[in-house]
Structure 1
Amino acid sequence: MHLTGQLTKMITEYNSPIQYYLNFNDEIIIINQLLDKKIKIRFDHYKCLGCGLDKVIFAMGYCKECYFTSPYAGDWILRPELSKAHLGKEDRDLSVESQAQLQPHIVYLAISGGVKVGVTRKSQLPYRWIDQGAEYAIKLAETENRYEAGVIESILKKHVSDKTNYRKMLRESVPYIDLSIVKNELKTFIPDQLENYILEDNEIFNFQYPVISYPHKVNSVNLKKVFEFEGILKGVKGQYLLLDNNMVFNVRNHEGFVVDLIL
């Protein structure tokens, strides 16, 4: 089978194991069914998620011009403490920013190659955890908007990482750590004026990924450097495809790339 389409973030379904789907030009491909089968991906051209033009993708699926102008690629996305919609101040488009920022957000702890702290819209759970390849996660706080969550995260990332160590996450199944204990330790750093956002709920979520075997070492594929690659699909974790030749491919990092998928 030979299909051509634009890469976008894989759709996920919270199940055991996680179910993955690729929306490939309105044709849904069930990625789990491709396990232990040979796949080939070949770069064809770019298609910016913003302007739709064949321009080199700069970041987040956007060409350089769109990345620095689109309201869907503002600095507040990666740094929620920079959110300003709660003040009625515009970054790039207040209507877009208000819709995204002025809703309940969750500050969480997750284990994905190590313990990390993160922020996401409440409506994005548990999918945000899955996209990061988390094996365990716990809610730490729930805020009324993105800014408040960002402030809490900024405080806690002085004590725990806010980054995912993707190499550790892809090399092996990580050992269990009781996140409720970590949560109790970290919440002592949250100042009094924010402590009312702390959640008493200590449910720990666990995620099982469709992985037959992990790579012995991690060789990340970049389609700007290697225009095609192939191998037997051995697993899917986070937004990565894991192949038998130690190659790993981050689908989300290649949003906006139009590729040939040969099955």
Structure 2
Amino acid sequence: MRYEGVLTKMQTEAGSPIQYYLVFNDNFIHMNQLLGQEIELSFRGFECLNCAKKKKIWRMGFCYDCFYSIPGAGDWIMRPELSTAHLGIADRDLDYETRVQVQPHVVYLACSSDMKVGVTRKTQVPTRWIDQGASFAIPLVEVPNRYLAGITEVALKNHYSDKINWKKMLCNEVTEFDLIAMRNIAKDLLPDDVSQYFETTVEQLYKMEYPVLEYPKKIKSLNLATTPNYSGRLVGIKGQYLIFEDGTVLNVRSYEGFVMELNV
């Protein structure tokens, strides 16, 4: 069976295991059903996720011009402490930024490889943790806007990493921590403006189970720019990665805006 479309990050559905879907304009693929099967991937071109022009993708699925102009690619996306919409100050588009920034955000602790701290909108729980390949996660504080979440993350980065060792994550080399105990320790590290939100945040430990038949011992990342055609047996999906039997992995999120053909 042949599918073709523009890659966007896989849609997920919480479950045991998590369910994954590749969604194109006119169809979708339930990726869990492809586990154990040989699939062929072919790179066919580019299509910007914003303007839909056939222009080379720069970052985040956008062409160069869109990346540096649209509000959804502002610096505050990666650095939430730069958010200013709660003050009525625009970066690129105040209406858009107010909708996204001025809503409940969660600062969390998670284990994908080692323990990390991160930020997500409340509406993205647990999707954000699934996308990062976290095995366990726990909310630390829920705050009313992105700025407060950002300054909390900055304060905690002095004590915890905000990065994921993606190779360890994909090999399932996960260091387990008592996240409930670590949450209580982190309470004393919160900024003064945020500490009031600790007691009102529900202490709930999340556990994620991924559809993986076998984890690789060593991995090699598939680069579609240099290897536009690849075929292999799909043995797992974790985070936003497809894992193949020969140890090749494809980070779907890294290739948003790439037009792909998939044959099963």
TM (norm. structure 1) is 0.97
Written as runs of structure 1 = structure 2, the 5 A alignment for 1:57-76 is: 57-76=57-76
Name 1:12's counterpart in structure 2.
12
Contact 2:171 2:217 in 1 (8 A): yes
Equivalence for 1:93: 93
Instruction: Say whether residues 1:183 and 2:183 are aligned partners.
Output: yes
Q: Would you say 1:241 and 2:242 are equivalent positions? A: yes
1:93-127 deviation per Cα after TM superposition (whole angstroms, max 9, x unaligned)? 11111100000000001000110101011011111
One-letter amino acid matched to 1:211: V
Correspondence for 1:120: 120
RMSD: 1.1
Unmatched runs of 5 consecutive residues or more in structure 2: none
Tell me, in whole angstroms, the C-alpha distance in 2 between the residues paired with 1:203 and 1:4: 40
Secondary structure in structure 2 of the residue aligned to 1:192 = coil
**Could you tell me how far apart the structure 1 residues matched to 2:173 and 2:17 are?**
14
- Asked if the contact 2:107–2:119 (Cα under 8 Å) also holds between the matched residues in 1, the reply is yes
Tell me if 1:251 matches 2:249.
no
Q: Deviation digits for residues 133-166 of structure 1, max 9, x if unmatched?
A: 0000000001010000001000001111111111
How many Å apart are 1:254 and its aligned residue? 0.7
Q: Which residue of 2 aligns with 1:39?
A: 39
Q: Match for 2:140: what amino acid?
A: L
Q: Deviations over 1:48-70 (max 9, x none)?
A: 01111111111100011111111
Q: CA deviation at 1:173?
A: 5.0
**CA offsets 1:196-241 (integer angstroms, 9 cap, x no match):** 0214533211010000111111211121221111110000000000
Cα pair 2:155 2:191 within 8 Å, conserved: no
* Conserved? CA contact 2:102–2:145, under 8 Å: yes
Measure, in 2, the Cα distance between the counterparts of 1:62 and 1:191: 35
**Preserved contact between residue 115 and residue 175 of structure 2 (Cα < 8 Å):** no
Percent identity, aligned pairs only, is 51
- State the number of aligned residues: 263
Q: Which amino acid aligns with 1:67?
A: F
Q: Within 2, Cα distance between the matches of 1:194 and 1:20? A: 35
Q: Partners in 2 of 1:191 and 1:17 — Cα distance?
A: 37
Conserved? CA contact 2:141–2:198, under 8 Å: yes
Deviates more, 1:243-252 or 1:196-205: 196-205
Looking at structure 2, the residues matched to 48 and 260 of structure 1 have their Cα atoms a distance apart, in angstroms, of 17
Give the C-alpha shift of residue 257 in structure 1.
0.3
SS at match of 2:193: helix
3-state SS in 2 of match to 1:248:
strand
Check the 8 A contact 2:108/2:139 in 1, yes or no: yes
The unaligned stretches of length 5 or more in structure 1 are none
Alignment match, 1:216: 217
Mapped to 2, the partners of 1:175 and 1:152 lie a distance apart of 24
Distance 1:26 1:171 in 2: 34
Looking at structure 2, the residues matched to 115 and 32 of structure 1 have their Cα atoms a distance apart, in angstroms, of 27
Structure 2 Cα separation of the partners of residues 225 and 182 of structure 1? 43
What is the deviation of 1:85?
0.3
Q: What is the distance in 2 between the residues matched to 1:214 and 1:104?
A: 36
Q: Which residue of 2 aligns with 1:133?
A: 133
The whole-number CA distance in structure 2 between the counterparts of 1:96 and 1:218 is 39
Tell me what 1:28 maps to: 28
